Amino acid sequence: MDAGSQSISSEKSSRYAAPRPPLQEAGSRPYMPSLSTVSRNPSAKCYGDRFIPDRSAMDMDMAHYLLTEPRKDKENAAASPAKEAYRKLLAEKILNNRTRILSFRNKPPEPESILTELRADATSIQAKPAKQRRYIPQSAERTLDAPELVDDYYLNLLDWGSSNVLSIALGNSVYLWDATNSSTSELVTVDEDNGPVTSLSWAPDGRHIAVGLNSSDVQLWDTSSNRLLRMMRGVHDSRVGSLAWNNNILTTGGMDGKIVNNDVRIRNHVVQAYQGHQQEVCGLKWSGSGQQLASGGNDNLLHIWDVSMASSMPSAGRTQWLHRLESHLAAVKALAWCPFQSNLLASGGGGSDRCIKFWNTHTGACLNSIDTGSQVCSLVWNKNERELLSSHGFAQNQLTLWKYPSMVKMAELTGHTSRVLFTAQSPDGLTVASAAADETLRFWNVFGAPEAPKTATKGSHTGMFNNSNHIHIR
């Protein structure tokens, strides 16, 4: 079991006697380092090579003559033309126009043609500029207040929709923050009997959003009109802590261990169920193809489900998982499907496990396991590079950027003072928002722009949300 919700003391309740407005700039903006780097080129003395004359190659008589030859007076411009012609002729025929007194060794012979080509190739390679390491800002670009954010590891209270609107649940309320103009609006505040909000997830169209409640109900909202479209009751016996969309199917996971597929287009919305967890389902993620579902629970189990194996009769009691993975030693909440390898899944364990594991979901094999040293709360893949971002709890409460597959740390982003419970990625894949138990929401430009646009090949797969711009909800 992993540390879950925290009790709210009277001291904390008094803290909100004068409530803070949500999603406003935090009181102290974090220090932002300059993007320009100061050139550090310390002046250094340059010493040339020391040349030593070769006495064996010197003509001592010639050197003596050149040293003792009388110098002409520079001011005496009246010189006999005949003598001048005789001097030039003598220097040309006898002295061979030599004026040097010291003689140095001759140049080494030129290398063979093969060596010359190799040297030319090496020179051309060295001449190419080295690939510069991407600059990763160490401080958050923006910090917003998030008062009354529930400190509960098992919930999922942050999501960023395809319309570039970020949603966050604060206590009994859901707020929307529009990233295009930084405007904030309140979507809904539920009553105490139904609250607090325990999960939320944007539909693929970026317009509709699902909201899971502590009362076990699930609401569907149209954010363009702030209208409640439907309330789904009776799906679960207790709170709904995880949600995941697969086109028109909304998958819900509850504290009762149930996983249910709901078709939001029809009246009798429960169409399929997955049974395998004995405790709360705290992580749900559909693969990019929409054919496999990953679920993590407080029973330390990770299941891989195939869409074709779901039971159409929730009461049948069948276990129809594709893989049942039992390697984690704590609750499995952090799940992330790889964007560049469809059968690669990353999972993260809680405080007693602290590991990030990578799985081949076709075979169920564990490809790698890394001990991060702290509770793994969430995982996000970089859409443009082979990188993975993880958020953590005690002791550093940091976000760590890893290079895949070497799992070398590229950066550690600090600033949160409590565990970083939730993360969400912007639609363009460049920015990651993090919400922590310190009641702040921070934005990190951690992934940066892609190096070069990658043109999609003809007939390539474009993701799970094809032709899903319009979701019909009854």
**Token pair belonging to 441:** 């929401």
Mean pLDDT over 300-317 rounds to 75
pLDDT at residue 43, as a whole number: 46
Q: Which of 203, 200, 281, 217 is nearest to 246 (CA)?
A: 203
- The answer on pLDDT for 263 being more than 60 is yes
Q: Which of 213, 223, 217 is nearest to 176 (CA)?
A: 223
Mean pLDDT over 67-74 rounds to 56
**Token pair belonging to 223:** 């954010």
- The answer on pLDDT for 54 being more than 80 is no
- Phi, psi values for residue 57, rounded to 5°: -95, 5
Q: What percent of the chain has pLDDT over 70?
A: 69
More confident residue, 312 or 298: 298
Residue 413 CA: distances (Å) to CA of 137, 216, 410: 8, 36, 10
Mean pLDDT for the chain? 82
Mean pLDDT over 396-409 rounds to 96
pLDDT at residue 300, as a whole number: 97
Q: What is the largest CA-CA distance in the chain?
A: 126
For the chain, report the end-to-end CA distance as a whole number of angstroms: 39
Mean pLDDT over 300-304 rounds to 97
**Token pair belonging to 345:** 């899944």
- The answer on pLDDT for 221 being more than 50 is yes
pLDDT band at 30 (very low <50, low <70, confident <90, very high): very low
pLDDT at residue 121, as a whole number: 66
**Token pair belonging to 235:** 């799906």
- The answer on pLDDT for 349 being more than 90 is yes
More confident residue, 321 or 16: 321
User: For residues 165, 169, 175 and 180, what is the CA-based torsion angle, rounded to 10 degrees?
Assistant: -20
Domains of the chain: 153-310+318-326 (2.130.10.10), 332-449 (2.130.10.10)
Task: Report which DSSP code applies to 56.
Answer: G
Residue found under tokens 């679920």: 295
**Token pair belonging to 438:** 């310190």
d(CA 389, CA 433): 11
pLDDT at residue 337, as a whole number: 98
- The answer on pLDDT for 46 being more than 90 is no
pLDDT at residue 27, as a whole number: 65
Q: Is the dihedral of CA 462, 464, 465, 467 positive or negative?
A: positive
- The answer on pLDDT for 109 being more than 50 is yes
Total Cβ atoms within 10 A of residue 401: 21
More confident residue, 460 or 306: 306
pLDDT at residue 81, as a whole number: 75
More confident residue, 199 or 19: 199
pLDDT at residue 103, as a whole number: 57
Tell me the sheet residues that pair with 378.
391
- The answer on pLDDT for 179 being more than 80 is yes
Mean pLDDT over 101-121 rounds to 60
**Token pair belonging to 215:** 């009362």
More confident residue, 227 or 126: 227
Q: Out of 40-49, 265-274, 300-309, 367-376, pick the least confident.
A: 40-49
Determine if residue 139 is left, alpha or beta; phi over 0 gives left, psi from -120 to 50 gives alpha, anything else beta.
beta
pLDDT at residue 5, as a whole number: 53
Q: Do 177 and 52 meet the contact criterion of CB atoms below 8 Å apart?
A: no
- The answer on pLDDT for 72 being more than 90 is no
pLDDT band at 25 (very low <50, low <70, confident <90, very high): confident
Mean pLDDT over 354-368 rounds to 97
Global model pTM greater than 0.75: no
DSSP string, 273-339: EE---SS-EEEEEE-TTSSEEEEEETTS-EEEEEGGG-BS-GGG-----SEEE---SS-EEEEEE-S
pLDDT band at 66 (very low <50, low <70, confident <90, very high): low
* Residue 418 half-sphere exposure toward CB, CA atoms < 13 A: 16
d(CA 465, CA 474): 20
At 189-207, the pLDDT tens digits run 999 999 999 999 999 999 9
Q: Which of 106, 105, 94, 107 is nearest to 66 (CA)?
A: 94
- The answer on pLDDT for 10 being more than 90 is no
- The answer on pLDDT for 1 being more than 70 is no
More confident residue, 307 or 39: 307
pLDDT at residue 262, as a whole number: 97
Q: Which of 50, 141, 30 is nearest to 433 (CA)?
A: 141
pLDDT at residue 307, as a whole number: 87
Mean pLDDT over 420-427 rounds to 98
Mean pLDDT over 440-454 rounds to 82
**Token pair belonging to 453:** 């646009």
